[in-house]
Structure 1
Amino acid sequence: MSDQTRIAADRRTEFGKGAARRVRRADKVPAVLYGHGTPPLHLSLPGHDTMMALKQANAVLTLEVDSEEHLALVKDVQRDPIKRFIEHVDMIIIRKGEKVQVDVPVHLEGEAAPETLVSMDYSELTVETDATTIPEAFTVSIEGMESGTQVLAGQVDLPAGVELVTDPEALVVNVTQAISEEALEAELAEAEAEVGIEQDESESDVGTPAVGDGAPAGADSSGADSNDES
């Protein structure tokens, strides 16, 4: 894990939706810091620095508040559902040497064998680790994996000192045989037949009426009326 990001934070003395909007208009982010039996500390964080720091999962920040420093782990980030800007950040106080439980992303690298499909049932693993050395991600190589290969949570390599909390039998990666286009079409046709859906006839099968079809018997095929002769 990289060194903790240092951020200068200001105390907030106004609360509520209106106060939060004023903080965001000043290009800052409302936040709260709590934990270890201390009263919640309401803060405003610089917008750009906070956005950059939160690009990493489980960001650990060194907050400079007045003349004090607080080591904080980001636990929850609330974003606007449309514009995706940061609305609020929840953080907990941590101490060097203590253990915390966090969700760490799982990244896949490489390519499985041809004509296979790779699915992930778990994109994150919950682990217990030192608060100041949280892994950024766990990497699983799927290079050359054949159909039928599975990777369980307990088979993912973890750094020393990191303990798995997720069920070791949980399925993380599953490699299956890719279905061919012909097999897919056959399955679709079979499914349609089971529910009584018939294929529509193409226009070429229906055909076009022949000339004179539907005309009364004995009618002049030339279409001329004998009374029109001069």
Structure 2
Amino acid sequence: MSDRIVIEAEPREITGKQVNQLRREGQIPGVIYGKKTQQQSVQMEQKALRRALRTAGTTHLVDVKVGDQLRTVLVREIQQHPTRGDIVHVDFMEVDMKVKLRAAAELVTVGTATPEAEGLGVVTQLLREVEIECLPEALVAEIEVDLSAIRTADDIIHVSDLVAPPGVEIMTDPELLVARFEYAAGEEELAVEEGEGTAEDVEVIARGKKDEEEF
């Protein structure tokens, strides 16, 4: 038995500007579409929908129940009011459980790099997500990046070093950099003094504020 989140929906007859009345009544319009199925307009209770989307996001399979019919979907687009942040429309894509699909998986760091543990600097994550391909049942939202693989200051992690879950293939360029170690301020000069390189050999990388992703 599936343990997927179920979103209760009703067929929607109202379209166009009249959907504003639906929203005032606490109902959110949406559509379900798929390659082998006809597009269906639906409406959902606002509070229940927000709770479901908060958990499922756009990377987990969801079952939308319309009457007696259960349709397995992915959330493909969530439209929100530009100032209030209210959900105004949701697009669902119905999936074929026997056909592979492509999606984005967030890269989440685990473990600690040896030079960072020694207080020499920090690890910078250069890639935030990768594209994956898998059957719907194998879909994952995250892939781990094991920073303990960085044992020296010269070690770097490429996409090819990532370990994908069973049934998942990473489609992103395997040569792209995922993470690297950077000396703390002053460590580059110390390395030069100790004969580990020259000033010309040192690559200075500007540090910027990391991007924060919001749902």
Which TM bucket (shorter chain)?
A: 0.7 to 0.9
**Cα separation, partners in 2 of 1:84 and 1:92, compared to 1, 3 Å:** same
In the TM superposition, residue 144 of structure 1 has moved relative to its aligned partner by 7.8
Counterpart position of 1:141? 146
Counterpart position of 1:79? 80
- Aligned equivalents of 2:149, 2:121: Cα separation in 1: 10
- Aligned equivalents of 2:38, 2:108: Cα separation in 1: 37
Contact 2:138/2:166, CA 8 A, preserved across alignment: no
Structure-1-length-normalised TM-score: 0.70
Contact 1:30/1:88, CA 8 A, preserved across alignment: yes
**Cα separation, partners in 2 of 1:157 and 1:144, compared to 1, 3 Å:** closer
Counterpart position of 1:160? 166
Is residue 174 of structure 1 aligned with residue 173 of structure 2? no
Code of the residue aligned with 2:93 in structure 1: it is I
- Indicate the structure (1 or 2) with the bigger Cα radius of gyration: 1
In the TM superposition, residue 87 of structure 1 has moved relative to its aligned partner by 2.3
Instruction: Give secondary structure in 2 for the equivalent of 1:44.
Output: strand
- Aligned equivalents of 1:140, 1:43: Cα separation in 2: 39
In the TM superposition, residue 6 of structure 1 has moved relative to its aligned partner by 1.0
In the TM superposition, residue 122 of structure 1 has moved relative to its aligned partner by 1.9
What per-residue deviation string (whole Å, max 9, x for no partner) do you get for residues 83-141 of structure 1?
33322211111122221100011111234312323322221110101112311211112
After TM superposition, where is structure 1 displaced by more than 3 Å over at least 4 residues in a row?
Answer: 143-146
Counterpart position of 2:11? 11
Contact 1:5/1:61, CA 8 A, preserved across alignment: yes
Contact 1:80/1:86, CA 8 A, preserved across alignment: yes
Counterpart position of 2:198? none
Code of the residue aligned with 1:54 in structure 2: it is L
- Aligned equivalents of 2:112, 2:51: Cα separation in 1: 31
Q: Structure 2: which 5+ runs fail to align? A: 190-215
Counterpart position of 1:106? 107
Is residue 50 of structure 1 aligned with residue 56 of structure 2? no
- Aligned equivalents of 1:43, 1:70: Cα separation in 2: 12
Is residue 123 of structure 1 aligned with residue 128 of structure 2? yes
What per-residue deviation string (whole Å, max 9, x for no partner) do you get for residues 9-63 of structure 1?
01111112x3333232233322111112332111112223322332334131111
- Aligned equivalents of 1:23, 1:175: Cα separation in 2: 53
Contact 1:149/1:176, CA 8 A, preserved across alignment: no
Code of the residue aligned with 1:5 in structure 2: it is I
- Aligned equivalents of 1:52, 1:115: Cα separation in 2: 43
Instruction: Give secondary structure in 1 for the equivalent of 2:39.
Output: strand
**Cα separation, partners in 2 of 1:109 and 1:41, compared to 1, 3 Å:** same
Is residue 20 of structure 1 aligned with residue 31 of structure 2? no
Contact 1:62/1:72, CA 8 A, preserved across alignment: yes
In the TM superposition, residue 170 of structure 1 has moved relative to its aligned partner by 1.5
- Correspondence 1:59-78 to 2 at 5 A: 59-78=60-79
Structure-2-length-normalised TM-score: 0.74
Counterpart position of 1:41? 40
Contact 1:97/1:132, CA 8 A, preserved across alignment: no
- Aligned equivalents of 1:66, 1:176: Cα separation in 2: 56
